[in-house]
Structure 1
């Protein structure tokens, strides 16, 4: 919650402040610049906040209660920061005027040979090249997604191998099956009101021993009334590994259920069984939460842009960014670092932070592209101007947010390192590749058709193909 507050708050405040500075440089008074900044940036900020809130609220569709609880809380946090960015911040800026930049005076002049003006002109000249390079680059990074392996080992994350708990586990695994570190419980329950017979108990234990993936089956502990028997089962795989979870789902559970004598029912419990249920719930969330959020976000983008075209390639860009982030994380941690897998919940964290927060930058850029087009600029000059004026805002916001999450890499914990790297990498890709190159270049290629069915007419007295202003 704190990270979202600081991250979202920083982004929205920067969006307002950079537009305020731009209007001051354009010759407006501080009061007028404040009004214009809120009027021009307010719609983009409100739309971005709406998208993020919808993404968070979609978590109420999750099968896991932790996400159902955190989703509304995060959405409320975003709403609070939206109100603060559009009311409190402008009020303070209006009171302080240009003193808000003290002691710097750089706000009075546009930087000479601004790098984002050069980037804007380059993208406007060759949009097809930049669209192809950025799109193919994101796809290439996304190939690593196919190697994603989920790990459920949360207990030993970040613990040194020399620690006593880790030494004990290694020693135990030398003489016993890997599953001995955390055995699985199989409960046999008589449902007809009778007791379990000795022959049923012995036969069922023998049947469990023959199930693929089962290493050792201990004698059962029988309840006093004789209706329930607890078999301690040691798996042949590490209980926290993906292999053990898959083995339990495909072999141990079906085998335990099928071997239950008539009039009894078998239930499989234990840590590995819990992980299997979590994995099923997460897979459900992938199939329900993500599409539901994408559909509503698509609708919000369509209403904001009054377009039936632009929202589609914006959603494609978000998907490419997500895949590229996950693929890069897989390559770094599973490939280069040699780790067995990534924490199973990582894609959900990426959805919460990368997709939701990273979409802000895309919306800010497309809103400025639409604004320049409405001013009468042709698609390519509009692209150059949008990058010149919005590029610094996105770069500053993305750098701050990515740097904040990157600090988690130094936490000394493999899970924190994975989450920190994935989120910081995703935000960097969203800011410096998707919003800076892919979205503007595709919009330039689409031309005025990007805003269909709305017809963007050139403003009165405005040249149809004006050259973007060059800073001297």
Structure 2
């Protein structure tokens, strides 16, 4: 199949390229735009209590809201607010409301602090556009207007809240995004120049991946509309990283094999046909594993992961097709000139380092397996200390940003949970008015919960069937202690609800509690299903039941080692309270899914070497010698690309950049190079049971059709007779 594909593409390279260009223009020109959807109901299923509470609030108390922006007032001299100051605050609040700023629905005064030094203005914005650019723009206008209105008074005013945090995050991330973008392109360019010493090869993948990206985005938009999928324009940023990651990998897999075939004496076009024929199966299997891993995300209970899974799968599928058609067509059209001005492609180097590593694995596979496995196990122990944090704002920008100053000052001036209080909604189950006489006792029980600063009955709806109890926690809404406290509030709210009523607990801490529950559910569901499906892909590739088990086990160890190392560095060494709660899922996306590529490439090459008549140990050594440079190059580029995220200057991207780059390095330089080949060498022929994947090809197996209609010699994995190898394994 892959040889036929390569042959067709190489015979008709111009038509192949034209077909891609026509497809790109047609898809990009006609594709619908990706909708923007960031309401909480698309994030969590409606079955979760926090979402039920939010829906109840909209029906029973449509005028109630969680402020999107908070103006915090204090005297410039740090003293208590005077009567004149309070009049100025009331004037500013009224003036802001009269300005009718876009997205602003309501501007109301907030509660003063108990010490009399602070006061608030609360701003409601359209919740349907939360986190969107239009609300960031509104926060920018609000911040400028409130400062202008306070000019000439003795007041110092700062704007905080979620909209202001989004504004500060955007400002903080501009420099980081520029550094990441520049760093990514420079790393790919410089590394490819060092490897191939050819400017055309350095620039080519960037151009081709750009074309693939445009097509992928268009197809994702089509699929979103056709199948009524939830999608979000914010997926585009992560798509670029995935496309450059897998696209560069597949480009390197193909180019290393193409160069190898040229060195073996193949005519240029035949070299490309042979390259696609031999490495195509490994690329397709690697892409299949990644696609399966991404599609498993549709089992997630979190809306944004369900959005992400199909989109990423489509992107990888397009990249796979490009890797087997567009790249071979372009390279075969250019021919060996693609390596200009370097002449090193004409002669195979000794590969002394990888040959030495291969001999080491061949001589001592048990020691190699134990040492590499021990490294992974020791690093994995760090996972025992993993703690998730939901405080994304403080991790994504410096503490000196205005919104973070507001958050810190509010925690000192008010209860830490005052900025995002918890609401308990008590509703009658029979539609009759609630007994107001029971409100006092119920509020007292809520206020007595460990971690609650105070609780009070805030309001009752017009029909008297739902009461809103405002519960202020002692802790900031996103902290572990707040999430634990809201769990206790739920227990008391449910158990103490009077007969004929039911209670729902809402608010940010309640949402974080449900997200935590949903993420833990996804870890128990998505990861095992993905692992099982990847094992099926590996089993089909290798025609084996045994090999997929230890291959997926090595991937699991790599995941654990990555998470453990990240915990030790950021939680233990740097004293972070926890790691971003989505970090394990992000590691799953990039470390497990994409990192599996290197295992597949190595094991596929090991099988080829075994089919040339080598015993298991020798096959492992030769696989490392020949596939090692490809894995090293691809792993280095991908790891270094993600490492540029650490230049962004905020904790979240630093954690993410380190974890993903470290995980890919582990996948390439520990698992694929040492752990997998040494285990395969130790297990021997049994690794391919019940099939005979390592069986030596004989003429009886039948010749494989060549591109020109002739026959490819049956014995060599690359179309070479094993006799053409000298005892050291070098091509003659």
TM range (shorter): over 0.9
Is residue 469 from structure 1 mapped to residue 706 from structure 2 by the alignment? no
Contact 2:301 2:518 in 1 (8 A): yes
**Which stretch of the first structure deviates more once superposed, 375-384 or 229-238?**
229-238
Q: Residue 181 of structure 1 is aligned with which of 419, 433, 458?
A: 419
Contact 1:381 1:467 in 2 (8 A): no
Residue in 2 that maps onto 1:3: 241
Deviations 1:61-119 (A, max 9, x none): 11111111111111111111111111111111211110011121111122245311111
Residue in 1 that maps onto 2:211: none
Deviations 1:278-329 (A, max 9, x none): 1111111111111111111111111110111111100100000000000011
Instruction: Output the CA distance in 1 between the equivalents of 2:297 and 2:563.
Output: 20
Q: Counterpart of 1:20 in 2: which secondary structure?
A: helix
Residue in 1 that maps onto 2:339: 101
Q: Name the CA shift for 1:89/1:225 in 2 (closer, same or farther; >3 Å).
A: same
Q: Counterpart of 2:392 in 1: which secondary structure?
A: coil
Q: Name the CA shift for 1:354/1:457 in 2 (closer, same or farther; >3 Å).
A: closer
Deviations 1:170-216 (A, max 9, x none): 33333543222321111111222222233122121111112222121
**Which stretch of the first structure deviates more once superposed, 167-176 or 182-191?**
167-176
Is residue 248 from structure 1 mapped to residue 248 from structure 2 by the alignment? no
Q: Name the CA shift for 1:459/1:158 in 2 (closer, same or farther; >3 Å).
A: closer
Residue in 1 that maps onto 2:9: none
Q: Residue 528 of structure 2 is aligned with which of 280, 283, 291?
A: 291
- Mapping for residues 321-332 of structure 1, pairs under 5 Å: 321-332=558-569
Residue in 1 that maps onto 2:387: 149
Instruction: For residue 223 of structure 1, report the CA deviation from its aligned partner.
Output: 1.7
Residue in 2 that maps onto 1:433: 670
**Which stretch of the first structure deviates more once superposed, 351-360 or 205-214?**
205-214
Structure 2, gaps ≥5 residues long: 1-238, 699-720
Residue in 2 that maps onto 1:221: 459
Root-mean-square deviation over aligned CA pairs: 1.8
Structure 1, gaps ≥5 residues long: none
Q: Residue 66 of structure 1 is aligned with which of 304, 310, 335?
A: 304
Instruction: For residue 123 of structure 1, report the CA deviation from its aligned partner.
Output: 1.0
Residue in 2 that maps onto 1:263: 500
Q: Counterpart of 2:503 in 1: which secondary structure?
A: strand
Instruction: For residue 410 of structure 1, report the CA deviation from its aligned partner.
Output: 1.1
Q: Residue 19 of structure 1 is aligned with which of 252, 257, 271?
A: 257
Bigger radius of gyration among the two: 2
Deviations 1:242-264 (A, max 9, x none): 22212322x11011111111111
Instruction: For residue 166 of structure 1, report the CA deviation from its aligned partner.
Output: 2.6
Deviations 1:24-79 (A, max 9, x none): 11111111211110010000101111111000011111111111111111111111
Instruction: Output the CA distance in 2 between the equivalents of 1:68 and 1:437.
Output: 35
Residue in 2 that maps onto 1:75: 313
Q: Name the CA shift for 1:457/1:64 in 2 (closer, same or farther; >3 Å).
A: closer
Q: Considering Cα pairs closer than 8 Å and 6+ residues apart, tell me whether 1 or 2 has the greater RCO.
A: 1
Residue in 1 that maps onto 2:614: 377
Instruction: Output the CA distance in 1 between the equivalents of 2:343 and 2:582.
Output: 46
Count of residue correspondences = 470
Q: Counterpart of 2:562 in 1: which secondary structure?
A: helix
Deviations 1:123-175 (A, max 9, x none): 11111111001001000000000000000011222332233333333333335
Is residue 280 from structure 1 mapped to residue 540 from structure 2 by the alignment? no
Residue in 1 that maps onto 2:682: 445
Instruction: Output the CA distance in 2 between the equivalents of 1:155 and 1:185.
Output: 22
State the TM-score, normalized to the length of structure 1.
0.96
Instruction: Output the CA distance in 1 between the equivalents of 2:350 and 2:414.
Output: 70
Contact 1:213 1:235 in 2 (8 A): yes
Contact 1:189 1:266 in 2 (8 A): yes
Q: Counterpart of 1:180 in 2: which secondary structure?
A: coil
Higher-helix-fraction structure = 1
Instruction: For residue 462 of structure 1, report the CA deviation from its aligned partner.
Output: 5.7
Q: Counterpart of 1:181 in 2: which secondary structure?
A: coil
Instruction: Output the CA distance in 2 between the equivalents of 1:95 and 1:13.
Output: 16
Contact 1:114 1:471 in 2 (8 A): no
Instruction: Output the CA distance in 1 between the equivalents of 2:731 and 2:479.
Output: 58
State the TM-score, normalized to the length of structure 2.
0.62
Q: Name the CA shift for 1:400/1:426 in 2 (closer, same or farther; >3 Å).
A: same
Is residue 386 from structure 1 mapped to residue 623 from structure 2 by the alignment? yes
Residue in 1 that maps onto 2:364: 126
Q: Name the CA shift for 1:308/1:446 in 2 (closer, same or farther; >3 Å).
A: same
Q: Counterpart of 2:472 in 1: which secondary structure?
A: strand
Q: Counterpart of 2:393 in 1: which secondary structure?
A: coil
Instruction: Output the CA distance in 1 between the equivalents of 2:449 and 2:575.
Output: 32
Q: Counterpart of 1:104 in 2: which secondary structure?
A: coil
Q: Residue 356 of structure 1 is aligned with which of 589, 593, 598?
A: 593
Is residue 399 from structure 1 mapped to residue 636 from structure 2 by the alignment? yes
Instruction: Output the CA distance in 1 between the equivalents of 2:355 and 2:419.
Output: 60
Is residue 135 from structure 1 mapped to residue 373 from structure 2 by the alignment? yes
Instruction: Output the CA distance in 2 between the equivalents of 1:58 and 1:198.
Output: 49
Q: Counterpart of 2:477 in 1: which secondary structure?
A: coil
